[in-house]
Homo-oligomer: A and B are copies of this chain.
Amino acid sequence: MGSAVAAKSEQTRQLVADTALRMFRDIGFEKTTMRAIAAEAGVSVGNAYYYFASKDDLVHELYIQVQAEHAARASEALEETTGFAERLKATLHAGLDVMAPYHRFGADFVATAIRPTSPVNPFSADSTPAREASLDIFRNTVDGARPAVPKKLRGDLPELLWLCYMGITLFWVYDTSEGQRRTRKLVDGAAPLVARGLALARIPGVSKVLDDVLDLSRSIRS
């Protein structure tokens, strides 16, 4: 198999993927039927299925692309901020920026992603690379913060924030306010509160409860 041929095959794959993602953005998830994608891309339905096992698989492709874009934008925004609250805000807003064009499609995306059997499920094995890359964004957000976050929390915080990010995404999906203004407000309000909450970890009474929360969290995960 020469490289030119490999390129041809890859070209078809990309054509299908690009067409699908563009149609998702422009006309929504449900109207983007497999037949419509195939017609628009100028291939047969079966051919699209040769490259993507299912429509969900095309959503997976979108998830990967959105995640990569989020990593790029967050990384850039984080270069200029040091305070934890500001860094968290930057990371979360970057995520919202990237998702924005797909808002009308967000509900279907989430409904697809939430099935444990789906390749798009953020906890699934298929999503491990994308999930790890996403976790890296939050590790970077936490580790680069000055003043540093309490050492006790540094290990678990990225995962916890990533989980919060999933929750915020859910909120964003349901947010019908213009430009998802309420979600922006939530991020702006919550980020400094999280930072102040972290400072409380140094109060002895709080620290004890926190230890137990972390213990529970670890025992549940293992």
Chain A residues within 8 Å of B, Cβ to Cβ: 107-108, 110-112, 114-117, 123, 170, 173-174, 182, 185-186, 189-190, 193, 196-197, 200, 203, 205-206, 209, 212-213, 216, 219-220
Contacts and interface: CB of A to CB of B under 8 A. Distances in A.
Contacts of A108: 115
Nearest to A188: B216
Contacts of A174: 116, 123
B209 A197 contact: yes
Nearest to A189: B216
Contacts of A213: 193
Secondary structure at the A interface, as helix, strand, loop or mixed, is helix
Nearest to A124: B174
Contact of A209 (B170, B186, B189, B200): B200
Copies in the complex: 2
23 contacts: A107-B114, A107-B115, A107-B116, A107-B117, A108-B115, A110-B114, A111-B111, A111-B114, A111-B115, A114-B170, A116-B173, A116-B174, A123-B174, A182-B220, A185-B219, A185-B220, A189-B219, A193-B209, A193-B213, A196-B209, A197-B209, A200-B209, A203-B203
Given A107-B114, A190-B216, A206 B209 contact: no
A182 B116 CA distance: 17
Closest 10 CB pairs of A and B: A189-B216, A111-B111, A111-B115, A196-B209, A107-B116, A111-B114, A186-B220, A107-B115, A193-B213, A193-B212
B200 A205 contact: yes
A29 to B, nearest CB: 11
A173 B193 CA distance: 30
Nearest to A190: B216
A124 to B, nearest CB: 10
A108 B174 CA distance: 19
Contacts of A209: 193, 196-197, 200
A6 to B, nearest CB: 37
A172 to B, nearest CB: 12
A115 B174 CA distance: 9
